[in-house]
Structure formats: C-alpha cells, structure tokens
A and B are shown apart, each in its own frame.
Chain A
Amino acid sequence: MAVPVYATELTDITTDSDAFTTVAGGGALTTNETDFYIQGSNCLSKATQASWDNNTYGGALHDDGANRTIPTNGAVFAWIYWWGPNVLATEANGGFALAIGNLTTAYKTFEVRGSDNWEFGGWECVPVDPNTFWASPHRTVGAPDGTYRWFGAEARVASATNIAKGNPFGLDAIRYGRGELRCTDGDVTNGYASFGGSSPDTGAAAWDNAVARRYGLLTPRNGAYFQQGLFIMGLAGTAVDFRDSNRVIFIQNTKKVTSLFNGFEIRNASSRVDWTNISVQALGTVSRGYFTVVDNADVNLDTCTFTDMDTFTFLAATAALSCTFRRCNAVTATGSDLRGSGFRTPTVAADASGLVWTDATETDGLLDNATFSKGTNDHHAVSFASTTTDVDYTLRNIDFSGFNATPASNDSAIYVAATTGTITIYLIGCTGNITAKSAGAAVTFISDPVTVTVTTKDVDGAVIGSANVFLKAASGGSGILPVSATVNTITRISTTATATHAAVHNMSTGDKVYIQGANQDVYNGVFTITVTTTTAYTYTIASDPGTNATGTLTATFVFLKDTTNAGTGVLSMSRVVAADQNVIGWARKSSNPYYKEGIISGTVSSSGDTTFSPVLISDD
C-alpha cells in the first residue's frame, strides 16, 4: 500500500466569506469575521442587540443557490459558536438551533444546544438530519416547502437582559452528506492509518481537524477523540492497513440524526485493522454508534472496551480478544474469535441475545473464557442462530452471571434457533446458571469432559513406550456409549460410508467407532466418525466395495486406539462422558523387546479422570 489517505464525502455549503442574511432578531452580521473563526480564515458573526433578550431569536441564513439532498442517515453539519451560554434558553427551549428551509421567511429550526448543556460555550460541530426531524422542529418560520436551500442557525436568548457588547453568535463551515471519514492505504513503511498517529499527529483526527478543513468528524480534545458520522476503514476499491492503540474515543451525543448515523465500518477483505486497548464510549442514546465488519477483513481487536454502543457485526477473520462490550447492543459473530471477551449487561430486548452466533461453527476455541452478565431486560447471553440441526457447540470456561436457572425462559443463558433435531452443548468449566430456550430443537447440555489415560508399564513399574493400546466401551454399568450396538445399515457413496444405528448412538464428531460384522471387510475396523444425526454418522473407507454393507453389523465406541508415547508410555484422550462407562482393552508391544498383552479393564468415570496402568510381561 502507500501513505495513509483520509477523505470525506461531505459537500461544502459555506466556508469562508460567504453571504448570510440575518433572520429574526439580533444585531448586525459580520461575514468576514477573523477574530474567532474555527475553519479556514474567517467565519460569520452576529452582534448583540438590546432587544435580543427575553426569549427572542436571532440568527442568520445562507443561500446555497440550489436545493440540496441530504442522504439517508446523513446530516447537515454546522460549526456553531456562542460565547455567552448562560443567557441562552435551554436546549429543549431552542437555545441554539440549526435553521434549514427554502427562504429566509420559510424555514424550520432544530435545537442542538442550550444553556443546560453548553456550559462552556465555544465552537461545536453539530449535525442535524432534516429528513428525519422535519416533522418535529423547534419552530417553523413561515411556510417552508420541505426543500433545503437556506442553511444557518438561530440563538434564543432567554435572559431578561441581553449581552451588552460584542458578537456572541458565530457560524463557520456548513456542510452536508453522510458524514463519512474514509481511511485507506497505510503500511509499515509509510505508516499505518490511525486515529491519531504520533507527534506530529498524522492520523485521521489530524487530517480531519486541520484548520483548512475542520470537518468535525473526529475531533481531538484533551487527549481523547470525539467522533460523529461514519468512520470507514477501507473502501471497496482500496484497502487499509489501520493500526492504533491506547486511544479514547467518545461518540458524540448527536440527537438530531438517525440511529445509524454514527458508526464504524471496515470494508475490503484485504484490509487489516488492529486496535489495541482502544476505548470507545457513546455519549448519547439516539445514535450510539455501530461497528460493522462489512467485508471479511483481517480485524484484530485486543483488550478494547466498547461502552454504551449499538450493535457489532463480526466476521470469521475478526478476532476480538479480551474485549469488553459494556451496556452495548447485540454482538453478531460469524465464526469470530471472541476469546476472553466480556459481554456485560447488554441492552438487548427481552428474549434477544447479547451475542448472536450466526452459523454452525463450533465455538470451541472461539468463545473460551468469555463472560456474560445479564442486563436490565430478560435476555439471553448467547443465541445459536443457525437453524442447522444436530450440531455440537462447546463452551469452555465461560461465566454466565444473572441468568435464569429455569429452562425455556426469556433470560435463559442460551437460545437455540434450530427447530428440529438435537443441539448438543458441551460445558467445560463453565459457571453460573446455564439453561436453554429453544425454537424447537432438543438441547442437550453435557458438562465437563474427563481424561482417560493409559500408561504402559513392565513388571518392575518401568514405563514401556511405543506400546499399542486399544480401549473400547464394554457392556454393563450405566454407560450410554455403544457396545456392539446394532447398526441397521451402512451405505456408501464412493468412499464415504454412512452408518445408521437402530438407536441413538450418543457419539460426537471425532469419536472413534469399531465396526464389525460387515461381509465386505472394507467396512469393518476402527474409524473416526462425523456425526450427521443422533443415530447416524459417516466415516471414510479405504475403497468403494461397490455395494452397501451386508451382514450383522455392530458398532462399539473406542476410547483409545493408538501408540503410547515413546518416552513416557502415556496415551490419553479427553471427552465428555455422560455416564460412567465400562471399558475393556489391551496394550501390546511386539517389537523388541516383546511383551505379552496387558489387559485393561474397568470403568471410565463421568465425573473425574481415569487412569489405567496395564502391566506387560516380557514375552521373549
């Protein structure tokens, strides 16, 4: 890539030395005010006047020469100024408002500031979306026809006495558009795109805040950044390499815009975005700021904190590690890596979910060590939104706080969208109330796997390495894994065999099964399976025998079939065992020195690890 490029699509309405027309009350206008401009080299100011008091309005409008169209989720952005905030009316009473209309005698005003929230006065860049708020202005002057050609502002002085001197009213650049701040390019040689960059500040904020332009989309203040509009990292035609860390960003309290006005988007699958220890906090509630990965870019969010924001949409190449989503709306993830992240008191609606896991991707290794706490509404922690049936999910070391212990509640920790079949959820080291509500599928929770270990030893207790071990489920006891279970059919398509049991097999993808009884020997043996339903699974056979299996077919679950470690003599596996399972097996070693078979027999515990130490006697 190249040197980072920043741009916007905002269109100027007025910047320097443009004509304004005074409206309502107030004093004379100075269209080339050079004393206190914020953008370019001058601004508009308006003088005080003796009659500008007792809730009278005073303002100015600029004719842009033609009607303007404000895009969806866009706004008119105006730099406004007032240096005597105490005399203004409150915001609700129209203290300071943008004015938009078709004539100086036909316009509407939309309140944006007042004495109650503009304590220090000074310059502010405020957005107003007239499309959305046309029907609810602060006031209407004349009979505006709904077109936008004249743009300006009004101040309403509430106090009984006016400001005695000077020009308390200012207007500088006015623009309109979606409010996009676009970041593209950047690399290690030319510097990455960033919010702030290093000193001298070369990041997006420095570009946006240059006196020559002052778009007001990312404004640095006191070490933090104030964002509004749409912050875009990467464009369809140009990727970005955006990397930044240790920033504090406030999403401005923009009230006269749509809910989708503020946001962050990542576009172009070739983009890379790394945020480390970035804190983003929304200050308002109208447009809280959404975060969307539009294209499956390489996104790495590390120890970031998002507070009071709107929705998040992550894709498979997104990693949000040890991030905190505090009082945010739903996080939607498609196979994203969210390990260690906290989803705290989300603001989702009742029966909705703080985290929406959109596809059937196994969550093991992606949601590990996450934390969920319930917000005000009765909502779920995680929704498995895929309607794919008979899927397994694994939740590892996850804490669920505040959720309902009663299944099928609006605030059960888990929601399953599948309507049929069985969804199996493995819980490993999870804490808190974990129940599920389902759209119809059966939900099976299996808590905590156990480890089965075999250590081969000789009569003196010395370990024997490289011994071959076979350990299978045995009948008796309370075990539910198949032991010589009847297999109704084994069919095949090419070298993929599908075994269908007469009953539920209770096995999972990746398990091993010992098939016996097929007249076609290729079907017999120990195979690793892919579960397709609760009674069926597939496995790969060495060759296509040209016919489906015949014979008296049986299947037995296999815990271990492998070779012990050459040095330690240990072979182990971990699996959730729903019920204590009897097992039988053996360890053999035929290469020099030879050993007789050592028998393994006992029960694999469902609640703890199980170790077998078969003794092999020399057979030389």
Chain B
Amino acid sequence: MAITIDWATKVIFIPQNYLTDLGGNIYELNVNTFRLDLRDIEDNEEGIPFQYTHIHNTEVTLGGLTLSRVVEIIAPYTVTFEDGQYAVNLVGANNNIADRTNVNQVSVRSSNSAGMVTVSGSGSGGGLTAEEHDQLMKTLTVAKFLGLK
C-alpha cells in the first residue's frame, strides 16, 4: 500500500506494509524512497495545488567526505504511521520525521548522524586506502600547523 496525504488535515499516512519488515516487530523506513514518493504525490492531479511536503538536500561529497542526505518534513504536514505495536527505524537520510510524527503506539527510531556519515573511497567497505589515509594525515598536520585545528 502506498503512502497517502489527507490534504485537509495535511497528514501524511504511512501504512505498515509500506515499511520493510526486519522481523521481531522491527520495521524500516527508507527515507529516500519515502521522499520520492512524496514528490510523486505533490505533482499529481490532486496534489499540485498544495504546498510541497518536505525539503530535501541530497548527499554532498566534499573533499572525499560525503555529507548525509537530509529530508525535512515541513509544517503544517505531519506524519502518521499506521497504528500498531511495532518500531520503525528511519534510514537512508537524516530527517525530522520523528519530530513531525503524530504519536501513537508506533515507536519511531531516528538514526540521524551529525552530518558526515560516509567516508568514500576506493577501499572495500568504504574505508580509506593507505594513500588516502596518508593524505588525510598530512592535511590534518598542515591544518594544525596553520592553527586551523
């Protein structure tokens, strides 16, 4: 079942079966997929007259560092998960969904990071190669020498 928006109340409804079942009453919401589905609703026949639902800032790579995707649900929109005794892990983007969620029995578990969530590189698993590590250390040394911390 797809997400829906009640345009009168501005409530974004997420049915339980929209979520990925991890077992043990633990579910996962891919926030990036979620925001794309919201975009689809925003520009359809019914949704186009209404204010957009969220702000999205995509992943940004700076000097080999990738800043996390951010999805911000904006007022007056709120989010309601289909009621039930289960937990939802929000993954795929930093977000404020937990802040905009209408409280019910569902436990919403945010995993926002401070921003830098990924260190990209050619090594398997996303870690630094030896060359990248050396270069990073040199950069940090120079920065410390210059008082840039």
Contact = CB atoms under 8 A, between A and B. Distances in A.
Interface in B7-52: 7-8, 36, 39-40, 42-44, 46, 48-49, 52
Interface in A576-605: 586, 588-591, 594, 596-597
Contacts of A561: 48-49
Contacts of A596: 56
14 contacts: A467-B43, A468-B48, A469-B48, A524-B7, A524-B8, A561-B48, A588-B39, A588-B42, A588-B43, A590-B43, A590-B44, A594-B36, A597-B52, A620-B58
A514 interface: yes
Given A590-B42, A594-B39, A620-B58, A470 B52 contact: no
Contacts of B42: 588, 590, 597
B43 A526 contact: no
B48 A588 contact: yes
A545 interface: no
A590 B8 contact: no
B49 A619 contact: no
A166 interface: no
Contacts of A514: 49
A526 B49 contact: yes
Interface of B: 7-8, 36, 39-40, 42-44, 46, 48-49, 52, 56, 58
Nearest to A562: B48
A619 B40 contact: no
B31 to A, nearest CB: 14
Contact of B43 (A468, A524, A558, A620): A468
Interface size grouping (class) on chain A = 20 to 34
A181 B36 CA distance: 77
Would you call the interface of chain B mostly helix, strand, loop, or mixed?
loop
A365 interface: no
A525 interface: yes
Contacts of A558: 49
A201 interface: no
- With a 10 A CB-CB cut-off, give which of A525, A590, A597, A619 has the most chain B CB atoms: A590
Contacts of A609: none
Contacts of B8: 521, 524
A525 B46 contact: yes
Closest 9 CB pairs of A and B: A588-B43, A590-B39, A468-B43, A470-B48, A590-B40, A590-B43, A597-B52, A468-B48, A470-B49
A470 to B, nearest CB: 5
B106 to A, nearest CB: 26
B7 A590 contact: no
A472 interface: yes
Contacts of B46: 525
A463 to B, nearest CB: 17
Nearest to B59: A620
A524 B45 CA distance: 13
Contacts of B56: 596, 619
Contacts of B48: 468-470, 561, 588
Given A468-B43, A597-B42, A590 B36 contact: yes
Interface in A524-564: 524-526, 558, 561
A620 B36 CA distance: 9
